[in-house]
A and B are shown apart, each in its own frame.
Chain A
Amino acid sequence: GAVVSQHPSWVICKSGTSVKIECRSLDFQATTMFWYRQFPKQSLMLMATSNEGSKATYEQGVEKDKFLINHASLTLSTLTVTSAHPEDSSFYICSASRVAVNTEAFFGQGTRLTVV
């Protein structure tokens, strides 16, 4: 149980285009999903916290107009990188917590974004 599926696992896009990444909890309901960014050989940097049916809460320094997050259901959250630039190239990872908030978080497999 507790499987989080992230899609796509990798994507290459042209500079200026937008890319959407999906995060799904397959076998549990997730009221809260988290989006992280990870640079090579570094730990995870939290970008935003997404609660089902409400606006995402962004961490300081993360542009909410650039990284659009939608959490329309208890099993799906999406991250859209708008007008992507090469500096947005990174490894993006989502995680989900079950309905009871004080539990562990499960991670998706990550999405490698390369902007050319």
Chain B
Amino acid sequence: QKEVEQDPGPLSVPEGAIVSLNCTYSNSAFQYFMWYRQYSRKGPELLMYTYSSGNKEDGRFTAQVDKSSKYISLFIRDSQPSDSATYLCAMKEGAQKLVFGQGTRLTINP
């Protein structure tokens, strides 16, 4: 079993839809949770960074962390074609290395 599981998709939704991206993990010691967006042939761009459980909102993006269920989510509201990319969840324990999910390929159709 991988430490971090993420559905690779692809996921295709119409413009304006709410998108839900999820990751599950097995290491209960993970404390820091991140979501990255990666466009084709580019490096990952940090979208959201959360410490421990709870919600965090930034514009159209909301990150949720449920440590009791070992489950994290990223919601995108009012999705737009420019949101089409691969979304990677990542997490770590203290100063340890980041552990990435496989990435979900998302397409927003105009």
Contact = CB atoms under 8 A, between A and B. Distances in A.
Contacts of B102: 42-43
Contacts of B43: 4, 6, 93, 95, 107-110
Interface of B: 8, 32, 34, 36, 41-46, 49, 88, 94-95, 97-98, 100-103, 105
Given A43-B88, A101-B95, A110 B42 contact: yes
Interface residues of A, number: 23
Interface of A: 2, 4, 6, 34, 41-44, 46, 49, 91, 93, 95, 101-102, 104-110, 112
A46 B8 CA distance: 19
A93 B36 CA distance: 14
Contacts of A112: 41
B5 to A, nearest CB: 11
Contacts of A108: 43
